[in-house]
């Protein structure tokens, strides 16, 4: 009897299936009896092939089997499909105990080859480096110095030379106009007219006295 595949490499917690069969190698085989042995494997299910006669059907809790082969066989014959799940990391196997290969009413052999498997630990995930984020600088608000003014005072305005010249010209014109207007008011006022008449009479008086003295 044999287990196929005879070797595998799996990871802890993996499930896989194997076939259990008999290779008659030219001898007539009519029935097979034995018990499956699991080492560091958890049996999930055992299924018997549909073209054989089951006299003792194996289960995960009781993996003993006795299977008849209709019309016997002289070649390779698959008898069972076994599903298992791996246990701890290391080596593991599926084998047989108390094998009896029966021909036409007589035992023709008891040889068996099990399957040996390697179980690897689950690889640790490689941590993904977290990209470092560059902090965005906080803008510093501009500071302005408030203008300090003394109550009752005004800040002098800055004027250009042209504006200063125009302002000076306007001031001179205003002063001249003011003086002419004041002089006109003085000359044509009643007091000024009376003063002028007195001055004229005084002048005539002195001229008259000089004239009489010459005579």
Strand-by-strand arrangement of the 2-4 sheet = 2-4, 15-23, 76-86, 41-48
Q: Where are the domains of the chain?
A: 2-120, 161-214
Q: pLDDT by residue (tens digit) across 113-156?
A: 999 999 999 988 888 877 777 777 777 777 666 665 555 555 55
For the chain, the residue count is 215
Alpha helices in 114-189 (DSSP H): 161-187
| Coil/strand/helix, residue 130 | coil
- Cα–Cα nearest to 38, from 6, 101, 80, 85: 85
Query: Which pLDDT value is given to residue 175?
Result: 61
Model pTM? 0.58
Residue 167 pLDDT grade (very low, low, confident, very high; cuts 50, 70, 90): low
Q: Report pLDDT for 125.
A: 83
Please state which CATH number belongs to domain 2-120: 2.60.40.680
76: CB partners within 8 A, 6+ apart: 21, 22, 23, 24
């Amino acid at each position: 009897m044999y287990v196929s595949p005879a070797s595998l490499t799996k990871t802890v917690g993996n499930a896989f299936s194997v076939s259990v069969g008999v290779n008659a190698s030219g001898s007539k085989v009519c029935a097979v009896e034995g018990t499956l042995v699991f080492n560091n494997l958890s049996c999930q299910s055992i299924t018997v092939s549909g073209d054989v006669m089951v006299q003792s059907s194996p289960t995960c809790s009781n993996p003993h089997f006795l299977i008849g082969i209709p019309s016997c066989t002289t070649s390779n014959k698959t008898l069972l499909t076994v599903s298992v799940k791996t246990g701890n990391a290391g080596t593991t196997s599926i084998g047989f105990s108390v094998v009896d290969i029966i021909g036409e009413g007589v035992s023709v052999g008891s040889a068996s080859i099990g399957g040996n498997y390697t179980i690897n630990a689950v690889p640790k995930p490689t941590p993904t480096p977290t990209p470092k984020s560059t902090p965005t600088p906080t803008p510093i608000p501009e500071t302005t110095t408030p203008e300090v003014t003394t109550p009752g005072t005004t800040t002098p305005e800055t004027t250009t030379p042209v504006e200063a010249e125009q302002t000076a010209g306007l001031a001179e014109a205003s002063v001249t106009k003011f003086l002419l207007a004041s002089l006109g008011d003085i000359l044509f006022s009643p007091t000024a007219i009376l003063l002028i008449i007195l001055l004229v009479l005084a002048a005539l008086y002195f001229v008259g006295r000089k004239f009489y003295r010459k005579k």
